[in-house]
Amino acid sequence: MTQPIFETILLERRGDGLWIIFNRPRVLNAMSRLLVFETREAIAWASEQSDVRCIVFAGAGERAFTAGADISELRDMTSAHVLAYNRDWLDLFREVERCRKPVIAAVHGWATGGGTELALACDFVVCTDNARFGLTEVNIGVIPGAGAVVRLTRWIGRMKAKEIVMLGHHIEGAEAATLQLVNQCVPDGQLDECVDALVQELASKPPLALAAAKASINIGADVGFDAGLEYELQEFVRLFGTDDQREGMMAFFEKRAARFTGS
């Protein structure tokens, strides 16, 4: 299928990964309504491509991953308008979480507000030491409105989540790693190399098992303990009888690298 072309994002194939690059560098890649819509379209397209093993979010230019919402769009909105506006954001982040492919955030520079919210929805986050995270919405009289409060609290607990959300401070890359908001913080200039290596490693794994692992972890965090156990068991059983399960076990006994196809 022909790769789509968008106005506010770029799609770039790098090996087994599809990079979705926010392309509004003049405004720190702020996420306009159009950018949110196009990102959702890109995720839907990538999800249907069997040769795309991972999705990577990144920002164009040297200054930002994305500084979050385009505040110029919000300034004159009523409560009714902002409800529909933020529901689009909420849906975007749920689609990231529900995508059956691994999703990576490659973060450099500014990643405040919606940039941090997006990172919280991804499966892996790699940042540079010049990255600046933060849920700073309190400083303009609101709170994060697309799930970051809930996700952050589940990640790091109530006390630290209250500190981050209620004080609205920035969080540098190294501190984000200490807080386990990111998987890895690397020197500026090494981000693409590290993310490419992560994509390559993930691409060597069986796609169906990766999708099952992602779903089991995410759903297990959302439901009761017993329901989470049952979901994990059913996913384990479902994977038996797949070509990849047979190939993986045969390769184990034959002491060779497995060749997974996603079937």
Which residues are part of the catalytic machinery?
117, 137
Burial of 146 (0-12, 13-18, 19+ CB in 10 A): buried
Q: How far is CA 238 from CA 109, 138, 144, 263, in A?
A: 42, 45, 37, 12
| 84 CB neighbour count, 10 Å cutoff | 10
- How far apart CA 53 and CA 205 sit, in angstroms, is 9
Q: How far is CA 235 from CA 30, 137, 160, 239, 249, in A?
A: 38, 38, 33, 6, 17
Phi, psi of 74, rounded to the nearest 5 degrees: -90, -20
Coil, strand or helix at 42: helix
What single-letter DSSP state applies at residue 111? E
What residue has token string 């200490």? 178
Question: What's the start-to-end Cα distance of the chain, in Å?
Answer: 20
